[in-house]
Structure 1
Amino acid sequence: MPYFDSERFASLLEKEGFSASQAKAVINALNDVVDESTVNVTDDLITKEEQQKTIERYKNDFRQLKTDIQRMEKNDVEDVKSANERLKADIDKLKKTLQDELIRSQAGVRLDLNLEKGRIRDETVEQHDRLKNTDEKIANEIQALKTQMQGIKMQILRYMIGTITGAGTLVLGYIHFSH
C-alpha cells in the first residue's frame, strides 16, 4: 500500500473548517473504506503460483488434446489407406474377371460365327436368316456387356470420388485444427 500521511490530511481538513474530532472521524472512515476496498480487491485476486499452475494445467490439456487428435488422425489416415488398398485389389480382381469373361465370350462368339459360316455354305436362304439372328444376339450381348462395364466403371468412379472427398475433408480438418 502506498503511504498515506493521515496527520497532513487532518491538518488540511482543520484548515478547511473541520474540528480535530471531525477530521479524525473522516480519516478513520477513509481508513475503513480503504481497508474494506483492499480486502474486496485482494479476495478476487489469485497468486502468481496459482496462475502458473492453471496455465500449466491448460498447457497439459492442450498437449494431450493435440496428441489425441494426431493419434486419431493417424488412425483415420491408416484406415483410409487400408480401404483404398482393398478397393484397388477388388478393382483389379474385377478387371481380371471382366477380361476373362470378355475373352471367353469373344472365343464363343468366334466359334459360333465360324460354325454358322460353314453351315451357311451348305444351307438354304432360311439358314442365312438364322445367321443374321445369331449376329444380332451377339451384338446385343456385347452391347449389354459394354453397358454393364460402363455401370461398374461409374460405381468405381463414384466410390473413388467419395474416398478422395473423405480424405480431403480429413486433411482440411487437420489443417483447421492445427491452426
Structure 2
Amino acid sequence: MIPILKPYTHIYRPVSHIYLRNLSSITKFDTRKFVQSLQEKGGFSEKQAEAAVNVVNAAINDGIYSITNNLVKKEALSSTAYQQKVDFAKLKGELQTMDKSEFTGLKKEQEKLRTDLTNLKNRLKEEITKNQASVRLDLNLEKGRIREESSQHELKIEDTYSRIDEEVSNMQMQIKTVKTQVLQWLMGVSTGTLALLLTFVRFYF
C-alpha cells in the first residue's frame, strides 16, 4: 500500500494558514483506494496502478511545490510592495518635513531681511534728518554772518557818506569863506583904484 501523501509544509511556511488548510485538504486522499479503483475500473494491474499513483503523486507534489513557490513569491512581492509603500510614505513625510523646515527657514530669513531693511531705512532717514538739520544750521549761521557783515558794511557806508557830507560841508564853508575874502579883496582893490582915479583926476583937472 502506497503511503498517503502529505503536503510540503516546509516549502511554503511563509504562506498563510488559509493556503495550508486548502492544500492539505487537496493532498490527503486514500491512495490504496485509488489503486483499487484503477485495478477494478481501469483494468490496471497492481504494479501499473501503483506506478500511475506514483506518477500522480509526483505531479501533485510538483504542482504543490509550484503553487507554494508562486504563493511565496507573490507574498514576498506583496511584502516588498508594502515595504516600498512604507518607505515611500516615510520619504514623503521626511520631504514634507524638510520642505516645511526649509520654508520656515526661508520665512525667517525673509523676516530678518525685512527687519534689516527697515532698520537701515530708519538709520538712513535719521542720518538724512541730521544732515538736513546741520545744513539748515550752517545756512542760518551763514545768513546771520552775512547779515552782520552787511550791517557792518552799511554802517561803514553810512559813516563814509556822513564823512563825505561833512567834508563837502567843510569845503562849501571854505569856498564861501574864500569867496567872501575874494569879494572883500576885490572891493578893497576896487575902492583903492577908485580912490587913485579920483586923486588922479583932481590932481590933473
User: Is the structural similarity TM-score above 0.5?
Assistant: no
The TM-score, its normalising length taken from structure 2, stands at 0.38
The TM-score, its normalising length taken from structure 1, stands at 0.43
Q: Which has the larger radius of gyration?
A: 2
